[in-house]
Amino acid sequence: MKNLHSIIFNNSFTETFPGDQSGNLQPRQTPGVLYSKALPTPVTKPTLIGWSDEVASGLGLSKPDEEDIKLLAGNLITPSMRPYSACYAGHQFGNWAGQLGDGRAITLGELQTATGKVWEIQLKGAGPTPYSRRADGRAVLRSSVREYLMSEAMSHLGVPTTRALSLVSTGDPVLRDMFYNGNAEYEPGAIVARVAPTFLRFGNYELLGSRNELDNLKKLVDWTISTHFPHIQGEDNVISWFKEVLKRTAFMITEWLRVGFVHGVMNTDNMSILGLTIDYGPFSFLDAYDPAFTPNTTDLPGRRYAFGQQAGVAQWNLGCLAGALSPLFPDTKPLVDAIESYEDLFWTQYYHMKGNKLGLDKVKSEDVVLIDQFETFLAQVQPDMTIFYQSLAELNLEIAENGREAILGHFQNSFYTSLSQKDEADLFELVNKYINRIKANNCTREVSLEIMRKANPRFILRNYLLHQAIQDLQNGDNGLFLKLEEAIKDPYSKKFDEFVNKRPDWANEKAGCSMLSCSS
């Protein structure tokens, strides 16, 4: 175990690719390079608020000392670091946005563990970079707590994600117009140190494609494959790699749908090339099961990034990546075929996942009807997604003998509104069908329940809990934050049942509890 400040960092990305070494932080276009040197801007009073022991132990790091805390705030650069911001582009809300880049993220270096695994360490909110455009390069405590806790929560749920090592408050106020409505206010600033094998996004490849920098594009693709997909070799490695990116992306989305996660800003610059959940902003878990729910106020007009749109948007985004890569292919048919294969791949994974949520031994073709019927019922009645599935796992298979009232009573706690006559009849029919199907399982009830327990989280990090923890932190009380930090580690158990509740009424319309803006 070592202290972070004594690590000798690797810098393979900056050593491999052309970069702008001027250190100039003025916003600008940077053609011809994949990154720009960018030193963090020091802050007034770094204070450690969160430290992930699990991430730290994976990196071989000991508890942070004073020097480490300075480093995590951008106040200490050690000799082996080559801090930089990556240049990337992207499609935002379906439109080409041109060059974007790390506007508030600075990579410090690559940490190689004793087992040889390499992790990029990046500070988010460490000050302006050449890609900050008109913004300040900073992050507020509110958004940093959200990223810190949620990336760890997702990891413990088993969803592919970038990780968070630390959360540090800066002591410097940051001006934010939280709802873009002219009511800017000062909020405490903070910095998250986040960790991933790489933070490369679809947008890194799109940038080079759009600029017709084909040598750089080819070099980036080759480096990505050899560094991050070393098992992919041979002549057709680029298409094999693209297919793997596609597969990982489809898997990530299936996992989001399993746990009820809505990312909120699925622009191509927020799509990790490793198929990790990345760039936590105005995300939310579903409370009520509404496939049209988007947590992002900017997304309200079109609901492009709503819960139920995510699989389709991912395919669209993969299409953008394929477009960027197409100059590397003499014939683009393999790319087109791969994009077309997405639907089969996704739906197969999707029904498998849904079968697990329902506790089916396996998904037979006739089960698709039952699964779809659940989907229709949930969208129609909009119960609390998490609590509904918990109730389903607690169902007594003989309950139907006691009639409709018993079934209704069993699920009562998951409903946000009272059910119509039709809803009640649909629930009765659905549960009866379901019980018959479960009785036809070729496995014991215990095995089926075990499948359900693994597929259905009991504790989810709801936005209203985050909101409360953030408010308390801003008032100097870290009690709830620390409790949530523990609860996220055990989302499938009953250990944290004090947090297993529907969204309370007070949170329905409250800013930060249901809707958020990109500045979140």
278 DSSP assignment: -
Nearest-angstrom CA–CA distance, 273 and 263: 16
CB of 279 to Mg ion, least distance (A): 4
Q: Tokens for 241, please give them.
A: 């790699």
- Does 270 participate in binding Mg ion (rule CB under 5 A)? yes
Count of residues making up the chain? 520
Contact (CB, 8 A) for 176 and 149: no
- Does 132 participate in binding ligand AMP (rule CB under 6 A)? yes
Among residues 20, 68, 172, 269, the one annotated as catalytic is 269
CA dihedral 60, 125, 28, 80 (to 10 degrees): -30
Element spanning 228, H or E:
helix 214-228
- Residue 172's SS3 state is strand
- Does 130 participate in binding ligand AMP (rule CB under 6 A)? no
Number of H helices, E strands in the chain: 16, 13
Q: Active-site residue 269, yes or no? A: yes
Which amino acid belongs to residue 272?
Answer: S
Nearest-angstrom CA–CA distance, 12 and 418: 58
Range 4-23, binding ligand AMP (CB under 6 A)? none
Nearest alpha carbon to residue 376 among 436, 305, 430, 438: 430
CB of 256 to ligand AMP, least distance (A): 17
- Does 147 participate in binding Mg ion (rule CB under 5 A)? no
CB of 217 to Mg ion, least distance (A): 21
CB of 266 to Mg ion, least distance (A): 10
Q: Which of 136, 290, 361, 450 binds ligand AMP (CB under 6 A)?
A: 136
- Decide whether 100 or 250 has the Cβ nearer to Mg ion: 100
Burial of 207 (0-12, 13-18, 19+ CB in 10 A): buried
CB of 409 to ligand AMP, least distance (A): 44
Range 90-109, binding ligand AMP (CB under 6 A)? 100-104
Pick one of Mg ion, ligand AMP, none as the site partner of residue 33 (Cβ within 5 to 8 A by kind): none
Nearest alpha carbon to residue 30 among 137, 129, 135: 129
- Does 482 participate in binding ligand AMP (rule CB under 6 A)? no
Q: Which stretch binds Mg ion (CB under 5 A): 268-276, 349-357, 378-386, 488-496?
A: 268-276
- Decide whether 270 or 386 has the Cβ nearer to Mg ion: 270
Q: Build a one-symbol-per-residue string for 235-274: x at contacts with ligand AMP by CB under 6 A, - elsewhere.
A: ------------------------------x---xx----
CA dihedral 277, 282, 288, 293 (to 10 degrees): -90
- Does 281 participate in binding ligand AMP (rule CB under 6 A)? yes
Q: Give the number of other Cβ atoms within 10 Å of residue 505's Cβ.
A: 9
- Decide whether 277 or 356 has the Cβ nearer to Mg ion: 277
- Residue 62's SS3 state is coil
- Decide whether 269 or 287 has the Cβ nearer to ligand AMP: 269
CB of 487 to ligand AMP, least distance (A): 26
Q: Which residue is nearest to ligand AMP (CB)?
A: 103
- Does 279 participate in binding Mg ion (rule CB under 5 A)? yes
Contact (CB, 8 A) for 459 and 490: yes
Nearest alpha carbon to residue 469 among 512, 433, 424: 512
- Does 204 participate in binding Mg ion (rule CB under 5 A)? no
Residues marked as catalytic: 269
Binding interface with Mg ion (CB under 5 A): 270, 279
Binding interface with ligand AMP (CB under 6 A): 100-104, 131-132, 135-138, 265, 269-270, 279, 281, 518
